[in-house]
Structure 1
């Protein structure tokens, strides 16, 4: 699945453009829990972050994975996209990418904790609302 909307299109619509990586180890996917004192503290999410000015989404994801987990990633195709408006009024456009491979051992640099979970276990974690659609698709085997 490939999408054509450029980051600048999201920005002109007042959205925050965010990337997230689907990293797998065997049958498990890496999920991260936000720190208790952060916005949406203790909610679960996929590693990634906001696209900065002048960055492409894949470049952003590579930077974020290096900062958050200490890995160098090869970012593959975009596998899911969602726009989500939070109750406080801000809207995110969240782009999920398959991480084809990475070098280094993931280490927790920014999260409360992270775990490798099977897709059928994901529903047991309290994910951010914007991630729920891709969590369901992972559980159904539609995203790998």
Structure 2
């Protein structure tokens, strides 16, 4: 079985998280996600996130700490998903290159969105982190 690293960036404004809805094509078409993407061989995970945010959203990010990691299988490939906290300057308008919608949502609102299965695991981690801090 082939193995790949894939990344997701957790971008926040105050207590709201940035999520994006994928175009209606591909294995996660029409589902919500934390932007990111597949690692190109030779890239660090941080380089992957910086490249993906620039390509998909046209923004520059700084990559912080690892928040979540888990493995999943899709089409006979084992993926190692790494979700990092990312930081960006404020922005208003974003291009629609791979997504059809963008939202800033609270943790409580995330249950109302259909996330890609892999990103649903990130949501669970974020919610558990929030509960343990209370």
How many equivalent residue pairs? 130
Identify which of 114, 129, 142 aligns with 2:117. Answer: 129
Q: Does 1:79 align with 2:67?
A: yes
**Residue 40 of structure 1: CA displacement?**
2.0
Q: Residues 33-44 of structure 1: matches in 2 within 5 Å? A: 33-44=21-32
Q: Which residue of 2 aligns with 1:3?
A: none
How far apart, CA to CA, are the structure 2 residues paired with 1:90 and 1:55? 19
**Residue 38 of structure 1: CA displacement?**
2.9
Identify which of 59, 66, 89 aligns with 1:103. Answer: 89
Identify which of 29, 36, 39 aligns with 2:17. Answer: 29
How far apart, CA to CA, are the structure 2 residues paired with 1:27 and 1:64? 23
The normalised TM-score by structure 1 is 0.81
Q: Which residue of 2 aligns with 1:15?
A: 3
Q: Is the 8 A contact 1:122 1:139 kept in 2?
A: no
Greater fraction of residues in strand: 2
Identify which of 114, 117, 127 aligns with 2:105. Answer: 117
How far apart, CA to CA, are the structure 1 residues paired with 2:119 and 2:8? 9
The normalised TM-score by structure 2 is 0.87
What is the root-mean-square deviation of aligned Cα atoms in Å?
Answer: 2.1
| Structure 1 segments of 4+ aligned residues over 3 angstroms from their partners | none
How far apart, CA to CA, are the structure 2 residues paired with 1:104 and 1:28? 13
How far apart, CA to CA, are the structure 2 residues paired with 1:58 and 1:31? 19
Gaps in structure 1 of 5+ consecutive residues: 1-12
**Residue 137 of structure 1: CA displacement?**
2.0
